[in-house]
Amino acid sequence: MGSGKSTAGKKLASLMGWTFIDLDKSIGDFAGKSIPEIFEQHGEKYFRKIESELLRNIKAHTNTVISTGGGAPCYDDNMDFMLDTGLTIYLKLTPMQLRSRLTGSNDDRPLIKGLGPEELLSYIEKKLSEREEVYSRSELIVDGFDLDINALIYSIKLKQNDQNSDF
């Protein structure tokens, strides 16, 4: 949350001439509700169920960038699925960098709604410590704070060449 997945994903897809899919937007479209409404009316478990189903129903599109929510890799073996069907990228930021980005957007994000600055930092540190093992399984780990999109494109192309030479 707040790492810039959607922003970077759109830019990456545009520069590479690929399709962009925002999984959270797809969930909202599917449910006919905003993410905060889904959480409020049905809870996180329901949200995660839809998230996993839609992730798998996207199928393995080629030349597509899919931005998932921060929790998506951590539920229902989603990370295994993503590793099996595509190239995974972790936009890594420190808790302080994430707090800086998330401050002021609490009301739009159900999991951090109403948290003050110190509570927000504690929440971020806790979530990162819980999720870091999963996130670190990503095939590319890049600095999400000073993201160089052209360097990321280069890394992706190198990774694709490595994968193609394995056949």
The pTM for the full model equals: 0.88
Tell me what pLDDT residue 133 has. 96
In this predicted structure, the answer to whether residue 9 has a pLDDT above a threshold of 70 is yes
pLDDT band (50, 70, 90) for residue 106: low
| Cβ(78)–Cβ(88) below 8 Å | no
Q: Which residue has the tokens 């169920």?
A: 49
Task: Residue 116: count other Cβ atoms within 10 Å of its Cβ.
Answer: 10
Q: Where are the alpha helices (DSSP H) in the chain?
A: 5-16, 23-31, 35-42, 44-57, 78-85, 95-102, 117-135, 149-165
Q: What digits encode the pLDDT tens for the residues 38-68?
A: 999 999 999 999 999 999 988 666 789 999 9
Tell me what pLDDT residue 72 has. 95
Start-to-end C-alpha separation, the chain: 36
Q: Which of 134, 139, 143, 136 is nearest to 158 (CA)?
A: 139
CA 62 to each of CA 17, 18, 19, 70: distance values in angstroms, whole numbers, following the listed order: 12, 8, 9, 22
| pLDDT > 90: percent of the chain | 74
| Cβ(90)–Cβ(135) below 8 Å | yes
Tell me what pLDDT residue 11 has. 96
Is 5-153 a CATH 3.40.50.300 domain?
yes
Mean pLDDT value across residues 22-41: 93
Mean pLDDT value across residues 90-107: 89
Listed by start position, the domains of the chain span: 5-153
* Rg, the chain, Cα only: 16
| DSSP label of 141 | E
